[in-house]
Amino acid sequence: MSMVLLDVRNVKLYYTTTKGIVKAVDNISFELDEGETLAIVGESGSGKSTLAKLLVRVWERNVSLVDGEIYLEGKEILHMPEEEFRREIRWKRIAMVPQASMNALNPVIKIGDQMTEPLLLQGTGKDEALKMAMDALESVGLPRDLVNRYPHQLSGGMKQRVIIAMSIMAHPKVVILDEPTSALDVITQANIMNLLKKLKWEYKLSYIFITHDLSLASELADSVAIMYAGKLVEIGGAEDIYTNPSHPYTQGLISSVPTLRTDKTLSFIPGEVPSLINPPSGCRFHPRCPFYKDRDYLKGLCDEKEPPMVELEGKASRKHLVACWLYK
Amino acid sequence: MGLARTLAVRAATLVVLLFIVLFVISFALAGPASKILKDEIMMETKSIIMNLMLHGHYNSTQIQQLQTQIMTELESAYGLNKPPAIRTLYIMYNMIVFNWGYSYFPSEYGNVGGGKVVDIILSALPGTILLDTFGILLSAFIGIEIGLRSALKYGSKSDRAVMYYAALANGIPQWWLGIVMLLIFSFYLAQMHSPISFPTGGIISPKYYELWLTDPVKVFTIPQAVLDLLWHFTLPLITVLIINIGSWAYFARTVVLNISQEDFVTFAKIKGLPENHVVNRYILRPAAPSILTSIFITIPFIIFGGFLVTEMVFHWWGLGYVYNIAIVGSPTPDLPVVVALTYASTLLYIVIIFIMEIVYIMLDPRLRE
Amino acid sequence: MSMAKKQREFRILGMTPSEITKEFFSSSTGKISAALFIILVVVSMYALIVLPPNFASVWNNPKYWQLNPQYAPPAWINSLIGPVYSPQVYVHDYTYAVQQQNGVTYITVTFNVNYEYDKPWSEIFIVINNPAIYSMPQPPVLSVTVYRPDGSKITLGPLPINSRVTTFGVASEVISQVNLFYNEEYHVSSIVPTGSSATPYIFYTINNGKLTPLKGTYKFDFVFYVFSQNSSVINRNNLEIVLQGQTYGLMGTDNEGHDLWLGLLAGFPIDLAVGLLSALIIVVIAVIIGIVAGFYGGLTDESLMRLTDFVILLPAFPLLIVFSVLFGWSIWDAVIFLAIVSWGASARIIRAMIMQIRSAQYIESAVIAGASRMWILRNHILPQIIPYILYLLVTNVPGAILTLASINFLGLAGSEYPTWGMLLYYADEFGALTSGYWWWVIPPGLLVAFVAVVFILTAMASEPVVNPRLRYG
């Protein structure tokens, strides 16, 4: 039984806009064990990037509510004083590789300097830090002399690798990867995925892998959490999710993945992602849910009451939970 | 390789532009100003004739002949007998080789350098550097600091106060504020017989005037003169600061706000870097090119615009004040001074722009390819 | 169904018009700028309504201002410093009696005034708006008796009335009569200085050898001797008696007695018009150049950019000064010239915008779908840049107003209408600084600042709309 590394309980993050309050993350809970890779899957607009930012406590100016608890190795970190969090946790224990890393590098500072920054500020010697940077570059498959280059001299894929290299330099416990490959071509994508696998073994990392691509997630994930409209609708071991998708949304996602070998009619989920300002009442998925349309006994239930998380039978060690009135 | 080429192209463009500006100015002044020149020549001729008549005896026909002769000579000396295009080129050539000639009204400038335009301009240069350049630089320094702090506290009360201050500072005419300052701190303080009051204008008291015009550096070696200078400097400098700090604050604030939204700033925070480190390396450093270039650009532009009138209001002996005397203050426009000043400022501007381009490239590695 | 709805939403820069309005007003800057803008518009309209269309000729015609004191502070100054200055008094409350005897009409006009100030009225004007006066073979004659609060009495006149405005105190008879009065009463000779008006001395007394104001109620008896049977030559409708005070009106007067309140008011429409016109021309040129350069690219772009560089490089203000002097420009010439040399920066912005939009995906697809350049311009590009155009318009106004005020302050490029800059020019010329005429010096500059600030605030409030990075503060 692995140790629970990260315990996220009932977290919420709302922010204000001129159109209203956006409930980007609305009461989400999950656990991450040591050495586990959790994939958080959802469409764009589901709030998954906001969740990532929530975990490292770096969010927009217009945030209006942050609630819930996060325990890292038993210690609560969401309400910890900012300076303490910055010194102890951020990047040192939890690191994040942001989405669209192309622009995450400072254009006027050399790569090497940007890589060694966190270490130098913690007291590591200049030479030692530089060596660590070059080692990190090597482990992500980049030339060591890249430390002397500027970001604009690198390709998108190289920049992505640099960011990944930076994230492991501090030996964090948890690395959050927010769509690490969406902006890249397929070949580079495959390379990066392999790299991530390798690093995971080498450095014993725990990943939170955020993506919209279910099939991509399946390459790396031990567990999968499905997010919809700011809420977690299903979570469980990868096996269970892929072989027994229980939430109608998950089922829709899986059946919309094209397969090469079998002859499957491509289906898609009709409708569009709901607004996070005025989400549908009750279960947020009900307007698009085929079961809701079909079964009359669900009317008055799915459209009015939010379904609680229910445990299902599963093969994996991680509990298989789903939030759907079908299973109550 | 690419760097040298880019700079060379840019330099060439700037030089061409300088020529065109010079041409336009020279032509504008050569053409329509010919009437003024003619009046000038008429006046000169009359005074020469007057002089001659005092010392000699001529009859009326001789005087007529003399008059025509002198006028023709003068006209050819001023190049009036040539077509405007030639005159323009003549003016341009003289400008470029710094042969700026003599002022028409040397007495207006205290007869500095015997009326040589170069000397007049040089005498006014320290005043402009003191008030305009130093004033702007100081304002930029203070303003950028304020703007930066303000942007980091976006939306707070102090940020909003800075915004309103900047709006006011940009809307108030600088020279008018100067007038108000003089009204309050010079006129009313004197009226109320206050022990402290400020002078009504001028750059330095008359007793040091001569020295300042000819050898300003020497003035700084005399403590009382320096104090006197500072006393005269107070009101103008405060006026300049009040108006300009606002603009710089707003500018810096905007630049910083724009940059703080960049992904690399967010990532710097994600990396757990401390606040002031992020500010210095991820906000200020990338902002430096725009901020520095603005400072550079402002320096030569200063005599163009509000500062000209401000110098006038305070009777501050600077390039703007001289310019004003040359155009508006003299009986007819003092063309040599006008053309020379416009040319000199444009030249200065071009040189500074060029230096600025080099600095920009040095600061932003992305431009080096 | 929801798909169709989305298409009908009109978005500019990612925001619908209602969202734009909301964002604009969400900041306090937006609210304040809107409020001030309304005030600006209201005052300007008020000025246009209140002032006659030929106000310029009125302003420049001394006839309208001759009764006003010159260099006079505003009337309300007394409420601040106490009853120091006599106010301008237009006598309305008088008794009017007509008597005819032997072919002469005697018109008696009597009124009282309360004198409680330290500085007396400087002049008395008798105005008769009847041209028939001048054509009479024998003009009317005026005789005045003043009953002073201390019981003494001064008899003044007879004074011929042969022009529309009779300036009482400078008539030689009146001067000698006042001198005589002081001689007899106080044994002081030649109290009225040569060249001065005798009127103020009507209100003085001598106390311990010093000239002090004699405060109290004065009774004035005016008797007009009209040598005609027609008694209506002078009547209530055409007679005006004015005591010229030391203060005047809401905003005081200048060196020519102009009512500065009217002058300042007149400045609103003209300064606004001038600023808006200049900004409009700038933006029109900038948009044309920016679009052509950004849209067509290549050589056109290169050459237009060189042109823009050149225009930015031109020393606008000095050239404006030089040309205004050389060509004797009016303010409208200056407006056009200023616009022609100031469009550079705005053109660059528009061009940058166009290039950014042009490289967007949807343009590419539109081109592939066979859309013509014009169509793309009209349907994709123009809607996107409209906010920028408006923003540039607002941003360019303050600069224009300030520059034109500056050039007016130098005494150049004026107009027959009084602009604020010109008011300041005259203020400076006529020693406002050396004599402390604060009411002449402060309001015009304040108003220039006000108008400029309104536009600046509006631009500031619009920034989150044109710069998405500043949204949702």
**pLDDT above 80: residue A318:** yes
| Residue in the structure block whose two tokens are 């005074």 | B47
Tell me whether C473 touches chain A (CB under 8 Å). Answer: yes
- Give me chain A's average pLDDT, please: 87
| Residue in the structure block whose two tokens are 């401000």 | B310
Question: Per-residue confidence at C6, pLDDT binned at 50, 70, 90?
Answer: very low
- Give me chain C's average pLDDT, please: 87
**pLDDT above 90: residue B114:** no
Of C218, C200, C247, nearest to C74 by C-alpha is C247
Question: pLDDT above 70 covers what percent of chain C?
Answer: 95
| C328: helix, strand or coil | coil
Contacts 24+ apart (CB under 8 A), A85-92: A85/A57, A86/B272, A86/B274, A87/B272, A89/B272, A90/A56, A90/A57, A90/A58, A90/B270, A90/B271, A90/B272, A91/A56, A91/A118, A91/A167, A91/A170, A91/A172, A91/B270, A91/B271, A91/B272, A92/A118, A92/A122, A92/A170, A92/A172, A92/B272
Which of the residue ranges B217-221, C272-276, C336-340 would you say has the lowest mean pLDDT?
Answer: B217-221
Tell me what pLDDT residue C11 has.
62
Instruction: Write out pLDDT tens, residues A154-185.
Output: 988 889 889 988 988 888 989 999 988 877 78
Tell me what pLDDT residue B367 has.
67
Question: pLDDT above 70 covers what percent of chain B?
Answer: 91
CA A57 to CA C466: how far, in whole Å?
A: 29
Write out the two tokens for A13: 């993050």
Tell me whether A19 touches chain C (CB under 8 Å). Answer: yes
Do the bridges between strand A206-211 and strand A174-178 make them parallel or antiparallel, or are there none, so unpaired? Answer: parallel
Contact B294, B352 (CB under 8 A): no
| CB interface of C with A, residues 412-471, below 8 Å | 471
- Cβ-based contacts of C26 with chain A (< 8 Å): 18
Instruction: Write out pLDDT tens, residues B278-316.
Output: 988 898 888 888 888 788 777 766 656 568 889 989 999
Which of the residue ranges B88-92, C203-207, C401-405 would you say has the lowest mean pLDDT?
Answer: B88-92
Alpha-carbon dihedral angle through residues A115, A121, A122, A125, given to the nearest 10 degrees: 70
| CB interface of C with B, residues 29-68, below 8 Å | 29
Question: Per-residue confidence at B143, pLDDT binned at 50, 70, 90?
Answer: very high
Averaged pLDDT for residues B82-88: 71
Tell me what pLDDT residue C473 has.
47
Averaged pLDDT for residues A241-249: 89
Instruction: Give the residue, C10 or A240, on which the prediction is more confident.
Output: A240
**pLDDT above 80: residue C315:** no
Question: Per-residue confidence at B138, pLDDT binned at 50, 70, 90?
Answer: very high
Which of the residue ranges B247-251, B337-341, C10-14, C90-94 would you say has the lowest mean pLDDT?
Answer: C10-14
**pLDDT above 90: residue B221:** no
Instruction: Write out pLDDT tens, residues A192-237.
Output: 888 888 888 888 889 999 998 888 888 889 999 999 998 999 999 9
Tell me whether B284 touches chain A (CB under 8 Å). Answer: no
For residue C249, CA distances in Å to A39, B81, C89, C337 come to: 79, 58, 11, 37
Residue B329 pairs in a beta bridge with: none
**pLDDT above 90: residue C147:** yes
Q: Where does B223-342 show beta strands of DSSP type E? A: none
Tell me what pLDDT residue B16 has.
81
Tell me what pLDDT residue B40 has.
67
pTM value surpassing 0.90:
no
Tell me what pLDDT residue B36 has.
62
Instruction: Write out pLDDT tens, residues C271-311.
Output: 999 999 999 999 999 999 998 888 888 888 888 988 888 88
Query: From the CA of C355, how many Å to the nearest CA of chain A?
Result: 21
Residue C90 pairs in a beta bridge with: C242
Instruction: Give the residue, C333 or B114, on which the prediction is more confident.
Output: C333
Averaged pLDDT for residues B24-44: 68
Tell me what pLDDT residue C1 has.
40
Tell me what pLDDT residue C303 has.
87
Instruction: Write out pLDDT tens, residues B233-256.
Output: 999 999 999 999 999 999 999 888
Tell me what pLDDT residue A281 has.
86
Averaged pLDDT for residues C204-220: 90
| CB interface of C with A, residues 377-406, below 8 Å | none
* Among A14, A15, A18, the residue to mutate for chain C (most C Cβ within 10 A): A18
- Cβ-based contacts of C428 with chain B (< 8 Å): 179, 313
Averaged pLDDT for residues B167-180: 93
**pLDDT above 70: residue B31:** no
Question: pLDDT above 90 covers what percent of chain C?
Answer: 43
Closest chain C residue to B304, measured at CA: C317
Q: Do residue B264 and residue A104 have CB atoms under 8 angstroms apart?
A: yes
Tell me whether C251 touches chain B (CB under 8 Å). Answer: no
Averaged pLDDT for residues C437-457: 94
Q: In degrees rounded to 5, what are phi and psi of residue B334?
A: -85, 80
Residue A320 pairs in a beta bridge with: A312
Which of the residue ranges A286-290, B74-78, C150-154, C399-403 would you say has the lowest mean pLDDT?
Answer: B74-78
Query: From the CA of A203, how many Å to the nearest CA of chain C?
Result: 38
Averaged pLDDT for residues B206-220: 80
B83: exposed, middle or buried (Cβ count in 10 Å: 0-12, 13-18, 19+): exposed
| CB interface of C with B, residues 413-452, below 8 Å | 424, 428, 433-434, 436, 438, 441-442, 445, 448-452
Instruction: Give the residue, C17 or A128, on which the prediction is more confident.
Output: A128
Question: Per-residue confidence at B261, pLDDT binned at 50, 70, 90?
Answer: confident
Q: In degrees rounded to 5, what are phi and psi of residue B336?
A: -55, -45
Measured from the Cβ of residue C143, the count of other Cβ atoms closer than 10 Å reads 15
Of B119, B34, B44, nearest to B79 by C-alpha is B34
* Among A80, A103, A106, A173, the residue to mutate for chain B (most B Cβ within 10 A): A106
Neighbouring subunits of B (3+ Cβ pairs under 8 A): A, C
- Cβ-based contacts of C467 with chain B (< 8 Å): 258
Averaged pLDDT for residues A52-67: 88
Question: Per-residue confidence at C4, pLDDT binned at 50, 70, 90?
Answer: very low
Tell me whether A275 touches chain C (CB under 8 Å). Answer: no
Question: Per-residue confidence at C3, pLDDT binned at 50, 70, 90?
Answer: very low
> Under 8 Å CB-to-CB from C206, ≥6 apart: which residues?
C182, C185, C186, C188, C212
**pLDDT above 90: residue B276:** no
| CB interface of B with A, residues 115-174, below 8 Å | 154-155
Instruction: Write out pLDDT tens, residues C373-432.
Output: 777 777 777 877 888 898 999 999 999 999 999 999 998 988 888 999 999 999 998 988
Tell me what pLDDT residue C146 has.
93
- Cβ-based contacts of A152 with chain B (< 8 Å): 365-366, 369
Question: Per-residue confidence at B37, pLDDT binned at 50, 70, 90?
Answer: low
Write out the two tokens for B144: 């950028």
**pLDDT above 90: residue C453:** yes
> Under 8 Å CB-to-CB from B19, ≥6 apart: which residues?
B92
Tell me what pLDDT residue C377 has.
73
For residue A145, CA distances in Å to A137, A142, A150 come to: 9, 9, 11
Instruction: Give the residue, B50 or A132, on which the prediction is more confident.
Output: A132
**pLDDT above 90: residue C27:** no
Neighbouring subunits of A (3+ Cβ pairs under 8 A): B, C
